[in-house]
Structures are given as structure tokens and as C-alpha cells.
Amino acid sequence: MKADLLAAIGGADLARLEDIRVFALGKSGRVTALLKTLGGMSPEERQAKGPVIHGLREAVTEALASRKASLEREALDARLAGETLDMTLPADVPASGTVHPVSQVMDELAEIFADLGFAVATGPEIETDWYNFTALNIPETHPARAMHDTFYVDPTSTEREIVDQWAKAPPMVLRTHTSPVQIRAMQAAGGDTPIRIIAPGRTYRSDSDATHTPMFHQVEGLVIDKGITLGHLKWTLETFLKAFFERDDIVLRLRPSYFPFTEPSAEVDVGYSIVNDKRVIGGSGGGNGGGWMEVLGSGMVHRKVIAAGGYDPDQWQGFAFGCGIDRLAMLKYGMDDLRAFFDGDVRWLKHYGFSGLDVPTLSGGVGA
Ligand code: DAH
């Protein structure tokens, strides 16, 4: 039996090897049956036949294991000889997203203003009427309310209920500008410490064409301190715009204007030149075909606004400014249709987006 089994094992493949194992060593296998006969033998007989039967089992077990190992080694050798890996093939490039130009510009703003000592402040996008309007010196009857094309957030549905709601309290609004963060920042600071903040974020107005989208982005700036003048405002804006557009030849023009929350107020234009028939921010402002482009609104914070924020307007002064982020991005990076910003077209995002790895941004971005 030993010679037969060893010969069969020597010529078996992997599948046949398993059959032989079951045939010899399985529960009702031949070798197992012989092992069972040991129990019924006399001690003398067992002493004589025991070593032979155990030796048979060991020999078969060993032969099975070594045949199995050599068959597996052969299979591996054959695979290694047959398979080739082409190490020169280009690896699959994993699909990766891009940083949206708006996120990129927000990061740039946060970095530039951080250098000037400004922190980033935030406020809710669903705002109360008081923060969005009243505290900013825009009372209920003020025409500026109509100018803002406000979205009202009203949990009631019928016209009757809306009228009733207005009688009780004005409904919540989607903030029409980032200016309410001025009030929140002043309240948070507690009325007795200087403030330097910017507040970038989403804003909403019921308006839609090539240069307006119902959701857009603004950045608010606010400085509150003692002895603040228009000179500080002008220097800050000039320093910011030079850093943002990465040019030293930025020229500014402050035009007298009107905002309810600043007095005096100024709209700020930045000079552009014509290069290859295109408007480029920097230089000119007049002559050589160049001109002025309006970029932001600003002014000295109105006494009533300082008071609404919990500061004493006889002691504290400040300046504020508000600026469209999407427009800044368009001017710096050359897009001409605002609506494409929010279409989510992957081709546009690939073209105008930034790599999160190549371009240094604040970790996580200010929106995170
Ligand atoms: N909130 C104004 C708007 O959305 C922009 C603005 C103008 C903000 C003057 C200011 C400011 O802080 O001083 O049109």
C-alpha cells in the first residue's frame, strides 16, 4: 500500500493530490482504517505492527505535503516566467477637483488682510430684518430696502398670513449684503475694544442677468478704533488692491456717494489701461484710452451704526467697505460671464479652477 500511495502522490496534480489525501487519510480512508485496527490488537501484536502503521501514515502525510509544495512552486515559477509588467506605462491619473475661483479669491483676501492685522468674521446668511437693515440705518420706510430686491424668508404661505406676519414683526431675509456682519462683530467685541475684520460670504438678491446672479459673494471690511480717518480707509484700500492685483501702479479714485450706513460715503474706482485692446487693471485711469472701473463702496461708519453695534460714537470711529468677490475674481482672472461661476460646468471649473496643491491657500479655505 505504501509503495502504491507514494507512486500515486508522485504523479498527481493538485486536484488529484486532495483525492489521494481523502482516500488514504480521510475519515474512512485506508490508512485511517489500519490505525483503527491497533485498538483491537494484543499488546505484542500492537508492538510489532504499530510502528509500521504509524510509519505508513507519516510517510504518506510527508509525501503529500512535499508534492503539494513543489507543485505550487512550479506554478509560481511558470507565472513569473510568463507574466511581464511594463514599468514604462503611464499610471492612471486619478480624477481630481479644482479650487473654485471664488474660494481662491476668498483665501487671497484672508491672506492679504491677515498681513494688515484683520481677522475673518462670519454671520448667518438667513438674517433678521434688524441686522440686515434697521441696525445699518435703513429704517422700514427707506427706499434702499426696495433697491435691494430682498428675498424674504417667510414660513407662512398665504398672502393674508404674510400681511399678518408683517404686522407682528418683519420676516427674516436672505442677507442682501455682508454689512450685517459689521453689527455682529461690534456686538461680539463688546463695545470697548478696537476691531479689524473682513467678512467674506454669500449674499442674495432677486436679480439675474450677465452681471447679476441671485446668489453672489461680497467681502465686508470694518475697522473700529479711536481717531480713525478717511486717510486710513484710503491707505488700506490702496494697499489691499495693490496686493490683490499684484501691481504697484494701481491708482484709486474716491467718488462721493451715498450709503445709509456710512457718512461720508465714497465709491472707489480703480484705474485701468488698455493692453492689446483689453482692459487691464493698473495704470491710466484717464488718457491712452484707459479709464476708471468701480470696484467697491466705502465710507466712515455712521454714528447710528456705531451705536447699534454697542459702541459710543463720541469715542469710537471707524471705516467700512463692501466689495463684490465674484467681480474681483472676474477682473483678476479674466472671466466675462458671472452666471458661469455657478453653473457647475466641469469644463469651466477645470479651465478657471485652481489646484489645491499648486497654489498656496489657507488650509481648508475660509469657507470650511
Ligand atoms: N453693503 C453695500 C452693498 O451691498 C456695500 C457697502 C458700501 C458696504 C459701503 C460698506 C460700505 O461697508 O461702507 O451695496
Q: Which of 39, 54, 82 is the last residue of a domain?
A: 82
**Is 365 contained in some domain?**
no
Same domain, 171 and 28: no
Nearest CA to ligand 1 atom 2: 322
**Is 308 contained in some domain?**
yes
> For residue 156, what is the domain's CATH number?
3.30.930.10
Residues 147-179 have pLDDT tens digits of 668 888 865 656 667 667 667 777 788 999 999
Residue range(s) defining the domain that contains residue 334: 101-352
- DSSP per position, 325-355: HHHHHHHHH----GGGGGS--HHHHHHH-B-
Nearest atom in ligand 1 to 222's CA: 12
What values do phi and psi take at 153, rounded to 5?
A: -100, 105
Q: What is the number of structural domains in the chain?
A: 2
Asked if 225 and 192 touch (Cβ cutoff 8 Å), the reply is no
Q: Is the model's pLDDT at 141 over the cut of 90?
A: no
262 lines ligand 1 (CB under 6 A): yes
**Is 76 contained in some domain?**
yes
Which of these, 323, 273, 368, lies nearest to 112 by C-alpha position?
A: 323
Same domain, 129 and 42: no
CA 118 / ligand 1 centre spacing (Å)? 18
285 lines ligand 1 (CB under 6 A): no
Residues 1-18 have pLDDT tens digits of 899 999 999 999 999 999
Same domain, 127 and 34: no
Nearest atom in ligand 1 to 301's CA: 13
CA 157 / ligand 1 centre spacing (Å)? 32
pLDDT value of position 284: 85
Task: Identify the burial level of 7 via C-beta atoms within 10 angstroms of its C-beta, where 0-12 means exposed, 13-18 middle and 19 or more buried.
Answer: exposed
Q: Which of 82, 116, 147 is the last residue of a domain?
A: 82
**Is 357 contained in some domain?**
no
Residues 68-92 have pLDDT tens digits of 999 999 999 999 998 888 889 888 8
260 lines ligand 1 (CB under 6 A): no
**Is 314 contained in some domain?**
yes
Nearest CA to ligand 1 atom 12: 321
pLDDT-derived band of residue 288, with 50, 70 and 90 as boundaries? confident
Element (H, E) at 317: strand 317-324
**Is 139 contained in some domain?**
yes
Record the pTM: 0.72
CA 321 / ligand 1 centre spacing (Å)? 6
Nearest CA to ligand 1 atom 7: 297
Strand partners, 88: none
199 vs 149, higher pLDDT: 199
Same domain, 346 and 316: yes
**Is 359 contained in some domain?**
no
Same domain, 159 and 71: no
177 lines ligand 1 (CB under 6 A): yes
259 lines ligand 1 (CB under 6 A): yes
Nearest CA to ligand 1 atom 6: 322
Same domain, 129 and 16: no
Nearest CA to ligand 1 atom 13: 298
**Residue 213: CB atoms within 10 Å:** 19
Testing ligand 1's pocket by substitution, the residue of 321, 323, 326 carrying the most ligand atoms inside 8 A of its CB is: 321
Q: In Å, what is the CA distance from 105 to each residue of 102, 223, 323?
A: 5, 21, 12
Same domain, 148 and 285: yes
220 lines ligand 1 (CB under 6 A): yes
Residue type present at position 198: I
For all residues of the chain together, what is the average pLDDT?
90
Same domain, 130 and 220: yes
Same domain, 158 and 211: yes
Element (H, E) at 90: none
Nearest CA to ligand 1 atom 4: 177
Same domain, 34 and 121: no
Q: Is the model's pLDDT at 42 over the cut of 80?
A: yes
Same domain, 218 and 266: yes
Same domain, 172 and 311: yes
321 lines ligand 1 (CB under 6 A): yes
